[in-house]
Amino acid sequence: MDPWIVASLGLTLVTVVVAAIAIRNGRELTRALATVRRLRAAEARHDEAIAQGGAEQAGLLQAVNAGVLRIDPGLRVLAANAAAHALLGRAEGTLPGRSVMEAFLDTGVESMAQVALTQGTARTELRRADADGPTLTVMGRRAPGGGLWLVVEDVSELRRLQRIRTEFIDNLSHELRTPLTTVSLLAETLSREADAIDVGLPPKMRDRIGKIEVETGHLVQMVNELLDLSRIESGGTLHPVDGLDMARLAAQSAERLRLFADRQGVTLRVETSDDVPAVHGDGVRLGQVVVNLVHNAVKFSPDGGEIVVRVRHEGDEVVTSVQDHGVGVPRDAHDRVFERFYKVDRARLRAEAGGGTGLGLAIARHVVEQHGGRIWVESDEGTGSTFSFALPAAGDVKR
Ligand SMILES: Nc1ncnc2c1ncn2[C@@H]1O[C@H](COP(=O)(O)OP(=O)(O)OP(=O)(O)O)[C@@H](O)[C@H]1O
Ligand SMILES: [Mg+2]
């Protein structure tokens, strides 16, 4: 064959192959371009959604009544809503850029923010420094992207109502105490006189006089506890001393209830170790806590039951506990028993042990917390309870 023909055939073949490749590549290119266009459109939609979400979030933050501040890990304000500015008494837009200390003018908030950074959440309360400044609670929560969110709320009204309630209870119990004490004394005298009359007094009448005496006794106790509680709640009643020996105090306080325990057929044991450090505290108040716990333990123990009071050194705390083998406290009531007036089951109380107001543990919790301690119960219904409180250890006991 003519070489020219061969050459031109070869050239045609090459052209055809090149054209085929070009066409295929062209289609791929078109497809790739379409994909790029689709991706761009999706990205634009995504950006728009983010921008819209950001605007929504900003709108939401402005709409809420609570003050919300975004804080960076160096404790500087990144952003704050209108409520935050209003609650902290600042002109709109002046908070971002300030440190937490400059924004709140309170060292408590700064330490709370440090705690929230390391532990996840924390809370504190502050009174704004200016005259009639509101009482604010500040809640710190670690943000997933680093730094913190702070939520500020005005609790002035709540605190005012709590103060009014405490004052009301205080006044009421004060007013009730004098006439009740008189009635109680009269009932006691009447009961003694009734006992002295050998004949002529119908047994029913003697019985009723006895009941009047018992019930007025309960009323007087209730009013006294109410007074105690409101005094403790309004603070300022502690007279703490250094070097308080909790082991000795617990033993002495338990001793005060030995007669009551004997009468109820309950044995009382005190176990303390020699290595218990001293605490800084008010002996009268802490003694009252032990009395309240032991009183309950006796009240809720069966005949022949045993109560053990223990004081021990645990870590940097002194733990005092009162264990009984009585009716126990159901799990869902473990926190509630420390509320004022809360009683698990009014019917189960041993009638001969006398009633109760439901204030003993509320008083105990207040006293313990005033000392920087904590109080708790471990118990299962039916197997007895152990009420314990821990106080910060202060040093050596001088015995
Ligand atoms: N050791 C205990 N065992 C079982 N239940 C208890 C014990 N201690 C307390 N409780 C429960 O907790 C409730 C609250 O106790 P708290 O001491 O506050 O009040 P109270 O003893 O009923 O009355 P008050 O102490 O004011 O005379 C009790 O009514 C009881 O239901
Ligand atoms: Mg009690």
Q: Dig out the tokens for 69 from the structure.
A: 């501040």
Lowest mean pLDDT among 92-96, 182-186, 249-253, 356-360: 356-360
Ligand nearest to the CA of 322: 1
Cα three-residue angle 219-222-224, rounded to 5 degrees: 110
Evaluate if residue 11 carries a pLDDT over 70.
no
Across the range 298-304, mean pLDDT stands at 93
Ligand 1 mutation target, pool 214, 227, 327, 361, most atoms within 8 A of CB: 361
Ligand 2 mean position, distance from CA 360 (Å): 4
Which residues lie with the beta carbon below 6 Å from any ligand 1 atom?
A: 225, 292, 296-297, 300, 324, 326-329, 337, 342-344, 356-362, 385
Q: Which of 305, 310, 278, 281 is nearest to 293 (CA)?
A: 310
pTM of the model: 0.60
Mean pLDDT value of segment 19-25: 66
Helix (H) or strand (E) holding 368: helix 360-370
Q: What is the largest CA-CA distance in the chain?
A: 159
Ligand 1: atom nearest CA of 300 is 3
More confident residue, 44 or 101: 101
Lowest-confidence segment of 221-235, 250-264, 320-334 by average pLDDT: 221-235
CA of 213 to the centre of ligand 1 (A): 23
Rounded distance from Cα 307 to ligand 1 centre (Å): 15
As a CATH number, domain 241-395 is: 3.30.565.10
CA dist 286 to 246, 369, 377, 389, Å? 8, 11, 17, 10
- How many angstroms is it from 243 CA to the middle of ligand 2? 28
pLDDT band per the 50, 70, 90 thresholds, residue 397: low
User: pLDDT tens digit string along 252-263?
Assistant: 999 989 988 998
Q: Who has greater pLDDT, 58 or 95?
A: 95
296 alpha carbon – ligand 1 mean position (Å): 5
- Residues contacting residue 176 through CB under 8 Å, at least 6 positions apart: 223
Architecture category of domain 64-154 in CATH:
2-Layer Sandwich (3.30)
Q: Check residue 101 and give its pLDDT.
A: 94
Report the phi/psi class of residue 372: left, alpha or beta, with left for phi > 0 and alpha for psi in -120 to 50. left
What are the pLDDT digits (tens) for 204-230?
888 898 889 888 888 888 888 888 777
Query: Between vectors from CA 375 to CA 371 and to CA 378, what angle results, nearest 5°?
Result: 165
pLDDT at 21: 65
> What count of other Cβ atoms lies within 10 Å of the Cβ of residue 80?
26
Flag whether pLDDT at 354 surpasses 90. no
Per-residue pLDDT, averaged over 123-142, amounts to 88
H or E, element range at 79: strand 77-80
Written as one string, the DSSP assignment of 203-241 is HHHHHHHHHHHHHHHHHHHHHHHHHHHHHHHT------E
How much is the mean pLDDT over the chain? 86
Q: Which atom of ligand 1 is nearest to the CA of 328?
A: 4
* Domain range list for the chain: 17-62, 64-154, 159-233, 241-395
Q: For domain 159-233, which CATH number applies: 3.65.10.10, 1.10.287.130, 3.40.50.11270, 3.40.50.970?
A: 1.10.287.130
Q: What is the pLDDT of residue 178?
A: 80
Q: For residue 349, what pLDDT is reported?
A: 52
pLDDT greater at residue 210 or residue 49: 210
